[in-house]
Structures are given as structure tokens and as C-alpha cells.
Amino acid sequence: MNDYIIRATAGNGAIRAFAATTKNTVEKARSLHNTSPVATAALGRLLTAAAMMGIMLKGEKDLLTLQIRGDGPLQGMVVSADSNAKVKGYVFNPYVEVPDKYEGKLDVSAAIGHGNLSVIKDIGLKEPYSGQIELISGEIAEDLTYYFAKSEQTPSAIGLGVLIDTDITVMAAGGFIIQLMPDASDEIAEKLEEKINRTPYVTSLLDMGYTPEDILKLILGDFDIEINEKKEVEFYCNCTRERVEKALISLGKEELEKIIEEDKKAQLHCHFCNKEYNFTENDLKEILKNAL
Ligand SMILES: [Zn+2]
């Protein structure tokens, strides 16, 4: 099964909801970055959230970036998504190991530690929109819930989960975001809160084989749910040799000449997909010529 997100409305438009299955996306991130189980879980949760937040963007070319910086051994991570649910991301320390929270439960919050979360939206304006909060738990779903309440004044319920197999590959991943629209009545808000409090953890739902449709039906089944859209999710990096050349050119003529003289080559690395780009002395001379 391919990864996908569904977008739904419920309660006569008072509720909007997203749910995703992201096993392949998170497994691709794991294999590209060689992440340890707890790093895979952290990155997978953030990638899943970014994919759902990406499709909230309105413009075709809009971009969303989520950054977490923490004082834990993971140090932080960066994830980006476009409005078509193409996501990419990396962690600062992929090899981190921390003791489990309890048996079988990876301790993402211990890996992240205290720090902050930034949400950056490039929606084609001169300056991108940027909101930042302090992490409240480092579990990511709770931190994003707090971000939506504080920075976007949108009450939300967020669940994110990644299940790791015994061979450390990804067994299942997914999540949901459910939000109350400004015109939601108190009655709907209370009923929804009650329902969410009784919803099992996403990891349990994934373990039971719940699809995104099943998850939303479980939570919103009493609210006249209507599924409006289904979109494929994919880990995709748009780096190219051409873009990397542009980055080299932007260093300036002097810096390039210095590299040619001292190093006689250059190796650039894409953080998002771990790809290496190698430039020989001749390549660099050619770039220098074109840069003038
Ligand atoms: Zn790349």
C-alpha cells in the first residue's frame, strides 16, 4: 500500500481533520539516514505531521518547514513539506540511543530534550511566516498541539506514531490532526474532547492495522464525517547538481578560486537525502568561468 493522507470535514464544517499512513516515507528516511530506532521515531513523527500540515497550505508552491532544536542527544531535526505531501527531513544526530521509556516504548522526548519548535511557512510573500514555541514535552504531537493553540489560535488534537520492527525497519507509521474551526459550538467542542480522551494511542491503532479512514471514523464517526480528499505521501528530495552548482557560485569568485587552489576539488552534501555531489578541479574551473 502506498502512503497517503485523507482530508475530511465533520460536524457540519465545525471540524476539519487529516489522517495519514506514512510507513514507506518513514522507512525511506530511515534507510537514507541510517537512523537509530528512537531517531527514526522522532523523524517519522515530524515527517508525518509535516505531510499533513503541508496539505493545509493553500498555494501550489507554498512550502512548510518544521525545525526542532533540543538539548538532548538527538540535538534537533529539520523537516520540510510542500502542498502536495512531498516531504523530506533529517536529524542532527542519527545514531542516538536512549533507554526506553518503558518496555517497548521509545523515549523520543528524552532524545530531544528541552528546546524549541519553529514552524516556517513560505507562502510566496517577501518574508516567510514564522512561529516559534518552547517544547512542552518533546513528544512532538503535544508540542505541535501547543503550537496550533498558541500561534494559530486553533484548538487541535494531534496523534503521531511510528512502530519499529525487531530488525529496526519501520513496521507502521501514521497519525492524525483534528481541528476545531472558529464557529464550532461548545457542545461540539466538549463532545469531541471526550471522544479524543477515549481514543487509544496512534501506535496502538497502527498496531491493530487501522487505516487513516478507520482512525477518522473511530474519532469522528458520530459527527457526520465527510472525506474530501486523498493524497499520496512520499519522501522526496528536490536537490540536483544544478542547484548545488548555484550554491557554489553564490560563494563568490574569490572563495571559489581559493577552493580550486587549495583543495582542487569540492564535495557537497545534501542534508535532506544524504546525497554527495563531487566536483573535480576542472568542474570547479568551469563553474568559475560561468560565474563571471
Ligand atoms: Zn537531497
Q: How far apart are CA 262 and CA 90, in angstroms?
A: 31
How much distance in Å is there from the Cα of 122 to the middle of ligand 1? 19
- Is the domain of 205 the same as that of 247? no
CA 150 – ligand 1 centroid, Å: 33
Q: Is 252 exposed, middle or buried (0-12, 13-18, 19+ CB in 10 A)?
A: exposed
Our count of domains for the chain comes to 2
Closest C-alpha among 192, 200, 152 to residue 53: 152
| Domain boundary residue, one of 217, 235, 253 | 235
Q: pLDDT by residue for the chain (292 residues), tens digit each?
A: 799 999 999 999 999 999 999 999 999 999 999 999 999 999 999 999 999 999 999 999 999 999 999 999 999 999 999 999 999 999 999 999 999 999 888 999 999 999 999 999 999 888 899 999 999 999 999 999 999 999 999 999 999 999 999 999 999 999 999 999 998 999 999 999 999 999 999 999 999 999 999 999 999 999 999 999 999 999 999 999 999 998 888 888 899 999 999 999 999 999 999 999 999 999 999 988 887 6
- Distance between CA 112 and CA 73 in Å, rounded? 7
CA distance 179 to 16: 5
Ligand 1 centre and the CA of 191: distance in Å? 44
Question: Looking at residue 292, what is its pLDDT?
Answer: 65
Q: State whether 117 and 165 are in the same domain.
A: yes
Do 229 and 268 reside in the same domain of the chain? no
The CA 179 to ligand 1 mean position distance, Å, reads 32
Ligand 1 midpoint to CA 52 (Å): 21
CA of 270 to the centre of ligand 1 (A): 5
Whether residue 261 sits in one domain with residue 143 = no
Cα 139 to Cα 70: distance, rounded to the nearest angstrom? 12
Query: How far, in Å, from the CA of 91 to the mean position of ligand 1?
Result: 14
For residue 187, the CA-to-ligand 1 centroid distance in Å is: 47
Same domain, 226 and 271: no
**Ligand 1 centre and the CA of 72: distance in Å?**
26
- Residue 162 CA, ligand 1 centroid: distance in Å: 23
**Is 214 in the same domain as 248?**
no
Ligand 1: distance of its center to the CA of 277 in Å?
10
d(CA 3, CA 173): 9
Same domain, yes or no: 228 and 245: no
Q: Which domain holds residue 101?
A: 4-235
Read off the CATH number of the domain in which 161 is found.
3.55.30.10
Using the mean position of ligand 1's atoms as its centre, give its distance from the Cα of residue 80 in Å: 12
* Ligand 1 midpoint to CA 81 (Å): 13
Do 199 and 279 lie in a common domain?
Answer: no
Radius of gyration of the chain (CA): 21
CATH number, domain with residue 270: 3.90.1280.10
pTM: 0.94
